[in-house]
Amino acid sequence: METVSDYFGCMVFDDRVMKAKLSAKVYQSLKKTIDEGAELNLSVANAVAVAMKDWAIENGATHFTHWFQPLTGITAEKHDSFITPSPDGRVLMEFSGKELIKGEPDASSFPSGGLRATFEARGYTAWDPTSYAFIKGKTLCIPTAFCSYTGDALDKKTPLLRSMEALNKQALRVLKLFGKEDVKCVRTSVGPEQEYFLITKEMYEKRKDLIFTGRTLFGAMPPKGQEMDDHYFGVIKPRVAAYMEDLNKELWKLGILAKTEHNEVAPAQHELAPIYATTNIATDHNQLTMEIMQKVAQKHGLVCLLHEKPFAGVNGSGKHNNWSISTDTGINLMSPGDTPYENVQFLLFLTAVIKAVDDYQDLLRIAVATAGNDHRLGANEAPPAIISIFLGDELNGVLEAIVNDTPYAGAEKTTMVLGVDVLPKFTKDTTDRNRTSPFAFTGNKFEFRSLGSSNSISCANIMLNSAVAESLKIFADELEGKDEAAIHELIKRELKAHQRIIFNGDGYDASWVTEATEKRGLLNYKTTPDCMPHLMDEKNVKMLTGHKVFTETEIRSRVDIMLENYSKTVLIEANTMVDMAKKEILPAVEAYAAEVAKTAGLKKAIDASLALSYERKAIAKLSVLTDMIDMKAEDLEKVIGKVKAVGEVIEESYEIRDALIPAMTALRAVCDEAETITAEKYWPFPTYGDLLFGVR
């Protein structure tokens, strides 16, 4: 019987394959490039290309592609076959080092935010040797960076790699303060938990809103939603279990460390969590995971919804970015150890993170801003839009002792006694978890909980890495050449300066908004248009360009691209609403009203003395609702026209926020009310009850 260990990573050109396929000299040279960033020799690239091609063909591949992550937020690929013509009329299977290192896709049709004119088509993909190549279907996929003819980054991978290098550089400086000369590299690692919904393909295909936008634009709540909390961690339905089994197998073949699976809070909602990987690889893996989730769902007659809020009134889906920093010698710099009060190295790195989150809370909010995530942040299943840090009782006690110059007694180790002799006794953790915090310390890592389920995790980690690199740079600049007393003084000073960002309470409590904004001065950017323009604030541009994560023109392009994406997304939703309201909902309600009127006429003909109170009330209400639906749809069309006439991207986003979304909400309200009184057989598409409870 085949076991997971038999096929895990079988579709990946990983270290095991490289050791077997490459000469010792080539392997060592490539490892030096991967581990230490050494320059890649063309002769090495040629040898790797031949070995990679032979391995791929052995595993059924006929084509190769430079697999990259443009600013669309999804992945892109252009397939080329391995075949090269032979003089005798046959073909040879060839793949050169030049083809491995560089590709040339058309760059004109990808978002560039003004970095490239449409007629300037040339772009380049460059092999990222730090992320293993893999086979998908019959295609060898080579992870690459993507840039324009002028060298500007047109993707999410390039700035991520730059941010990792920036943090590595500054972390090494700080570690030398502690005599850690043996550390050659510091890397961030991430484990992104992925939430998603599963619905039946049959129902999905009957809803234009799901097809065009990925979320329901209409829908009244069913009699039962998530009130009973009976779905969370509940027994997984056989059809879903079969899907998860196939999904795991496909992910494991690609070396993706899928570890945990369970039902989430909302009906039809689930979660998958992997084991941690280096941030660059984790980002590639998460993009693959989302793609494979959707492909496997199709095979099971299901559709996987990755939108942040596919259903109003029930929990949306997030992506929890579990982030930590480790050395190549195996030290987790976010691990406090048994005596965190005495662990000065940990306290200095912790202080750097606290300072980074406080100084660049706007960048962290910007990194998770999308039209979809605007529906989720601040709702009762998600962290608030206000960024804050949860540390827990033990660390909070340590930091308070440092700030106040008071003794630290240490956290008490408590044994959990459950009152039943047969149950094991175990030591309770010294701190609880806080699911309402956007940025929570969870033992040896931070969990950034604000990401939306469809987000690429690259954006959040670019900003997080860069901000922490800046803190570490400031610390190293001050401390190099100083003694340990200077380190203690810096920790104390910086912790005092950034107390406002630490909040261990209930982030859902309405009083927190007042305290955060009015007393602490924290930012509260509720929507994408509120926060995105602040990417160009002077302090942000200075920091990001200073660490060479972005150029100023690249930063400006991101503002335009993200706001343009926001505007297009909401406009597609608005146009879809008008289309559904006029072509599906109005005719359905009119048809039901006509049936009620016909029934009233028949009853009257049978007995003229009948009161017909039900029919009169129903017809009157349906008549009012049809008029309201028509009026609200026309109102929405007018606002769409106004938005399209604005022209300038920032102002357009403000018009969408202030006028278009309220008009969409108004149309939805009357349509959802109509659904509650229209006979089920007349309603033109599956309801929330059908969708949320349809997978059996």
pLDDT tens-digit series, residues 323-337: 999 999 999 999 988
% of the chain at pLDDT higher than 70: 92
As a residue count, the chain comes to 696
Strand residues in 248-337 grouped as ranges (E): 258-263, 269-274, 277-278, 302-305, 318-327
Question: What is residue 121's predicted lDDT score, i.e. its pLDDT?
Answer: 64
Higher-confidence residue of 112 and 354: namely 354
- Residue 444: how many CB atoms within 10 A of its CB? 15
Instruction: Please say if the pLDDT value at position 425 is more than 60.
Output: no
How far is 283 from 74, CA to CA, in rounded Å?
11
Say how far apart CA 440 and CA 447 lie, in whole Å: 5
pLDDT of residue 148: 85
List Cβ neighbours of 563 (8 Å cut-off, separation of 6 or more): 528, 529, 532, 533, 649, 650, 652, 653
Between CA 195 and CA 454 the distance in angstroms is 9
3-state secondary structure of 647: coil
User: In the 8-state DSSP scheme, what is residue 236?
Assistant: P
pLDDT of residue 97: 80
Task: Judge contact between 230 and 319, C-beta under 8 A.
Answer: no
Band of the pLDDT at 491, cuts 50, 70, 90? Answer: very high
Angle at 366 between CA 360 and CA 371, to 5 degrees: 165
CA distance 257 to 250: 11
User: Which residues make Cβ contacts (< 8 Å) with residue 585, sequence separation at least 6?
Assistant: 218, 629, 671, 674, 684
Q: What mean pLDDT is predicted for residues 280-293?
A: 97
Contact 189, 276 (CB under 8 A): yes
**% residues pLDDT > 90 (the chain):** 71
Residue 596, Cβ density class (10 Å: 0-12 exposed, 13-18 middle, ≥19 buried): buried
Confidence grade of residue 417 (pLDDT, cut at 50, 70, 90): low
Copy the structure tokens of residue 219.
């829908």
In the chain, where are the structural domains located? 4-154, 163-217+228-412+424-550, 566-692
Matching residue, tokens 């339905």: 237
Q: What is the pLDDT of residue 411?
A: 57
pLDDT for residue 520 = 97
Q: Can you read off the two tokens belonging to residue 294?
A: 């959707």
CB 134 within 8 A of CB 141: yes
Q: How many other CB atoms sit within 10 Å of the CB of residue 497? A: 15
Nearest C-alpha neighbor of 444 from the set 429, 461, 465: 429
Whole-Å CA distances, 321 to 259, 599, 633: 15, 58, 39
Burial of 100 (0-12, 13-18, 19+ CB in 10 A): buried
pLDDT at 430: 56
- Residue whose C-alpha is closest to residue 517's, from 364, 385, 381, 365: 385
* Residue the block writes with tokens 């401390």: 479
In the prediction, which pLDDT does 208 show? 98
Q: 367 - beta bridge partners?
A: none
Average of per-residue pLDDT across 415-427: 59
Residue 428 has pLDDT above 80, yes or no: no
What pLDDT score was predicted for residue 419? 62
Question: How does residue 100 score in pLDDT terms, banded at 50, 70 and 90?
Answer: confident
Q: How high is the pLDDT of residue 256?
A: 96
> Higher-confidence residue: 213 or 600?
213
pLDDT at 396: 87
Instruction: Classify residue 494 by its DSSP letter.
Output: H
Residue 610 confidence (pLDDT) = 63
**With bands split at pLDDT 50, 70 and 90, how would you rate the model's confidence at 41?**
confident
Cβ 686 vs Cβ 692: under 8 Å: no
| Highest mean pLDDT out of 124-128, 229-233, 256-260, 460-464 | 460-464
User: Which residues, in sequence order, are bridge partners of residue 127?
Assistant: 144
Contacts of 284 (CB under 8 A, 6+ apart): 131, 143, 157
As given in the structure block, the two tokens for residue 671 are: 């349509």
pLDDT tens, position by position, 561-615: 999 999 999 999 999 999 999 999 999 999 999 999 888 888 777 776 666 678 8
Category of 9 on φ-ψ map: left (φ > 0), alpha (ψ -120 to 50) or beta: left
pLDDT at position 107 is: 63
Higher pLDDT pick, 34 / 250: 250
pLDDT of res. 584: 98
pLDDT reading at 278 higher than 80: yes
pLDDT at 696: 87
Confidence of residue 418 (pLDDT cuts 50, 70, 90): low
Q: What is the pLDDT of residues 663-673, one digit of tens each?
A: 999 999 999 99
Per-residue pLDDT, 122: 73
* 110 pLDDT tier (thresholds 50, 70, 90): confident
Mean pLDDT of the region 538-544:
98
Residue 432 confidence class, pLDDT cut points 50, 70, 90: low
Average pLDDT across the chain, whole number:
90
Residue 68 bridge partners (DSSP): 76
> SS3 letters for 175-193?
HHHCCCCCCCCEEEEEEEE
pLDDT of amino acid 231: 79
In the structure, what pLDDT confidence band is assigned to residue 633 with cuts at 50, 70 and 90? very high
The hierarchical CATH code for the domain 163-217+228-412+424-550 is 3.30.590.10
Q: How far apart are CA 284 and CA 279, in angstroms?
A: 9
Asked if CATH classification 2.60.40.790 holds for the domain at 566-692, the reply, yes or no, is: no
The structure tokens listed for 85 are 């013509």
Backbone angles phi, psi at 625, to 5 degrees: -65, -40
Q: Say how far apart CA 308 and CA 374 lie, in whole Å.
A: 9
Q: Pick the closest to residue 104 from 84, 131, 122 (CA basis).
A: 122
Q: Residue 103 in 3-state DSSP?
A: strand
Alpha-carbon distance 390 to 446, whole Å? 9
C-alpha to C-alpha distance for 266 and 315, rounded to whole angstroms: 6
pLDDT: is 419 or 375 the higher one?
375
Q: How confident is the model at residue 435 (pLDDT cuts 50, 70, 90)?
A: confident
**Under 8 Å between Cβ of 183 and 321:** no
H/E stretch holding 405? none
Report the alpha-carbon distance of residue 45 to residue 493 in Å, rounded: 50
- The C-alpha atoms of residue 664 and residue 218 are separated, in whole angstroms, by 10
Question: Which residues make beta-bridge pairs with 258?
Answer: 274
Task: Please give the class, per CATH, of domain 4-154.
Answer: alpha beta
> Is residue 118 scored above 70 in pLDDT?
no
Residue 37's pLDDT band (cuts 50, 70, 90): confident
Report the pLDDT value the prediction gives residue 409, as an integer from 0 to 100: 67
- In the block, tokens 């009330």 appear at 617
Residue 454, SS3? Answer: coil
- Residue 285 pLDDT class (50, 70, 90 cuts): very high
